Amino acid sequence: MTRTRRLDLAEDALAEAFSRAAERWPRNGVPANPAGWVYTTAHRYVVGRLRAEATAGRKAPLIAVRDGWQPAQDGPDEPADDRLPVILLCCHPAVPTESRSALALRLVIGTPTEQIARLFLVSTPTMAARLTRAKQKIVLAGIPLGMPFDEELRVRLDEVCRTIYLAFTAGYTPGDGQGLVRADLADDAVRLALVLHDLAPDAVQVRAMLALLLLQHSRRDARQRDGRLVTLAEQDRSKWHHDEIRAGLGLVAGLGPGDGYGEELRLQALIAAEHARVSSADATDWHMIARHYAELEARTGSAVVRLNRAVAVAEAHGPHAGLALLADLDELLGASHRLPAVRAELARRAGDIALARASYRRAVERCANEVERAHLTARLEALG
Amino acid sequence: MKYFVLLAGCGELPLWDDLTPEEQEAGMAQHGEFADACAVKPGVEILGGEALGEGTTATTLRTRGGTVAVTDGPFAEAAEHIGGFYLLEALDLDTVIDLCRILSIYDIEIRPVLDIG
């Protein structure tokens, strides 16, 4: 993209290259340098299109390039790696927030628009329009390709991490109606996180984010059984991907305390690590988890973090302690089904069946996902 | 690329006429700093720029159903606070953003000027 400054061509070229890879690699085997193969194929495609346009005499919209920035040079065997400037471009503050993850998935790992639409639970035309608008904004407003420095780079990498994490959690958001686990859609976000870590391995927020994603994603095959939701406590841990856990734990071990968004990610990764490193749920160090959540809540003031903290505190100090933390959350999480669901479970443990019943009812009312609702209904009925 | 930079009173400060002479001088100094910064930035040229009369000095025209209504005042509450503009030539948006940081007394909207030629 840096040599041609053509956002449109870059996108088409990448999609074409990935589609050819999907066709040929199963037959001919994966090449020794897969990324190189993809980018060389894409590069050839772009050259072909430019030739055709030159013949037709068309004038195309170009993206701006930051003054003074030197893009990487083409190597003898393969074109230069644009991916980091492109990821940073997608997360520029002037790019509409709701388009950033979609654009990054599209332009860096070539995810088909239809798949991105399913990830974010919108129709394909809606997602296509969102992508088009974002690309138009980039070209028309002159948002430039290039590398920011120092503080601006740190802020932009924070935004990239937020963006990738958003794409990841979207894959774990149950759709309306059927289906709970759409974790295969989260694969794309993990892929993107791996690419980013390749490109910026020294950035702490990038390492923390990758650790968090690997640790959470490693549980994907244990989350559902016979169409039912399986809670963390009940999961068959042999179904966890232990190679991913090892990689995640390794990354976490290398992270020191820090600041800002990177520190938030590190705390979340530490929590995920506590779950991942034990072979059975009873061995979980809930005191440690509760401490991490307390720090996270102090940093973010997030109601969702408070909710998760309440669960950890209940495990560590008993249900009444957990219930106390839920007290002022109704205002902040009014539409949530998770809040009443958590309250119901803690109330049940505390022996307050009336509160448990009322809370499960409220949770069932608010839950939009069939599989999750079935799970909550079963819990309600089990109260008797 | 051409950019239209709209300068609006940022709501944190009173309207220009209500500022003290010292505050007004500080505001004018920002414009001077802005011009100096533009002069040394590659690819940047100030093509135009004016201070505008306040919202109370505005006159609005609206044509509805073929009839033109002329009224006193700006056409929207937000437009009341527009105090001036610049028209800039610059290579990219980040250049404009960097320059506009100097004009911190304003809320600023940056619009690309479309080339309809």
- Give the domain ranges of chain A: 208-213+244-270
pLDDT in the model for residue B117? 64
Q: Element (H or E) spanning A247, and its range?
A: helix A242-253
Residue in this structure with the two tokens 């609702």, named with its chain if needed? A373
In a domain, B117, yes or no: no
| Interface contact A67-B112, CB threshold 8 A | no
Q: Over the stretch A253-263, which tens digit does the pLDDT of each residue have?
A: 999 999 999 99
| CA A302, A307, A311, A317 torsion-angle sign | positive
Cβ atoms of B105 and B10 closer than 8 Å: yes
Q: Over the stretch A33-42, which tens digit does the pLDDT of each residue have?
A: 888 888 888 8
Cβ atoms of B35 and B102 closer than 8 Å: no
| Interface contact A142-B43, CB threshold 8 A | no
Q: Average pLDDT for residues A78-86, to the nearest whole number?
A: 81
Distance from CA of A68 to the nearest CA of B (A): 9
- For residue A8, report the phi and psi dihedrals to the nearest 5 degrees: -65, -45
Q: Is A193 exposed, middle or buried (0-12, 13-18, 19+ CB in 10 A)?
A: buried
Compute the mean pLDDT over every residue in chain A, rounded to the nearest whole number.
Answer: 90
B1 touches chain A (CB under 8 A): yes
pLDDT at A175 over 70: no
Residue type, B86: Y
Q: Over the stretch B96-115, which tens digit does the pLDDT of each residue have?
A: 999 999 998 889 999 999 98
Confidence bin at B53 (pLDDT 50/70/90)? confident
Highest mean pLDDT, choosing among A52-66, A88-102, A226-240 = A88-102
pLDDT in the model for residue A180? 59
**Residues in chain B closer than 8 A to A143 (CB atoms):** 92-94
Residue in this structure with the two tokens 């794309």, named with its chain if needed? A188
| Interface contact B110-A141, CB threshold 8 A | yes
pLDDT in the model for residue A176? 62
| Interface contact B114-A140, CB threshold 8 A | yes
Long-range contacts of A181-187 (CB under 8 A, 24+ apart): A181/A220, A181/A223, A181/A224, A182/A118, A182/A119, A183/A217, A183/A220, A183/A223, A185/A115, A185/A118, A185/A119, A186/A119, A186/A217, A186/A220, A187/A217
Beta carbon pairs, A and B, within 8 Å: 35
B110 touches chain A (CB under 8 A): yes
Confidence bin at A58 (pLDDT 50/70/90)? low
Confidence bin at A104 (pLDDT 50/70/90)? very high
Q: Average pLDDT for residues B53-78, to the nearest whole number?
A: 89
Q: Over the stretch A309-336, which tens digit does the pLDDT of each residue have?
A: 999 999 999 999 999 999 989 888 888 8
**Residues in chain B closer than 8 A to A65 (CB atoms):** 92
pLDDT at A177 over 60: no
In a domain, B43, yes or no: yes
Distance from CA of B116 to the nearest CA of A (A): 12
Best CA proximity match to A358, nearest among A344, A373, A376, A379? A344
| Interface contact B1-A142, CB threshold 8 A | yes
Residue of B nearest to A93 (CA): B94
Residue in this structure with the two tokens 């979980």, named with its chain if needed? A284
CA–CA gap between residue A6 and residue A63 (Å, rounded)? 6
Mean pLDDT check: name the lowest of A53-62, A242-251, A268-277, A364-373. A53-62
Q: Average pLDDT for residues A104-118, to the nearest whole number?
A: 92
Question: A347 or B82: whose pLDDT is higher?
Answer: A347
Residue from A62, A88, A89, A140 to probe the interface with B (highest B Cβ count within 10 Å): A140
**With helix as H, strand as E and coil as C, how does A321-371 read?**
HHHHHHCCCCCCCCCCCHHHHHHHHHHHHHCCHHHHHHHHHHHHHHCCEHH
| Interface contact A143-B93, CB threshold 8 A | yes
Q: Average pLDDT for residues B1-10, to the nearest whole number?
A: 91
B3 touches chain A (CB under 8 A): yes
Distance from CA of A143 to the nearest CA of B (A): 5
Confidence bin at A225 (pLDDT 50/70/90)? confident
Q: Average pLDDT for residues A334-356, to the nearest whole number?
A: 93
Confidence bin at B13 (pLDDT 50/70/90)? low
pLDDT in the model for residue A292? 97
Q: Which residues contact A56 (CB under 8 A, 6 or more apart)?
A: none
pLDDT in the model for residue B11? 61
Q: CB A301: neighbour CB atoms within 10 A?
A: 10
pLDDT at A381 over 90: yes
Q: Is the pTM of this model over 0.90?
A: no
pLDDT in the model for residue B12? 65
**Residues in chain A closer than 8 A to B94 (CB atoms):** 66, 143-144, 146
In a domain, B86, yes or no: yes
Kindly state the percentage of chain A with pLDDT values over 90.
Answer: 60
The token pair that represents A134 in the structure block:
């974002």
Q: Average pLDDT for residues B45-69, to the nearest whole number?
A: 91
Q: Over the stretch A185-200, which tens digit does the pLDDT of each residue have?
A: 899 999 999 999 999 9
Q: Average pLDDT for residues A6-26, to the nearest whole number?
A: 86
Q: What is the CATH number of the domain that holds B92?
A: 3.30.70.1060
Domain of residue B15 covers 2-51+81-112
| Interface contact B93-A142, CB threshold 8 A | yes
List Cα–Cα distances, B38 to A65, A123, A147, B103, in angstroms: 18, 45, 21, 12
Q: Is A251 exposed, middle or buried (0-12, 13-18, 19+ CB in 10 A)?
A: buried
pLDDT at A87 over 90: yes
Residues on chain A bordering chain B, Cβ-to-Cβ distance under 8 angstroms: 64-68, 94, 140-144, 146
Q: Which residues contact A154 (CB under 8 A, 6 or more apart)?
A: A203, A205, A260
Residue of B nearest to A143 (CA): B93
Domain total of chain B: 1
pLDDT in the model for residue A77? 67
Query: Which of A67, A94, A141 lies closest to B91 in CB terms?
Result: A67
Q: CB A34: neighbour CB atoms within 10 A?
A: 11
pLDDT in the model for residue B87? 97
Confidence bin at A44 (pLDDT 50/70/90)? confident
DSSP 8-state assignment for residue B18? G
First to last CA, chain A: 63
pLDDT in the model for residue A60? 72
Q: Average pLDDT for residues A58-75, to the nearest whole number?
A: 77
| Interface contact A143-B42, CB threshold 8 A | no
Mean pLDDT check: name the lowest of A44-53, A141-150, A344-353, B86-95. A44-53
Kindly state the percentage of chain B with pLDDT values over 70.
Answer: 94
| Interface contact A144-B43, CB threshold 8 A | no
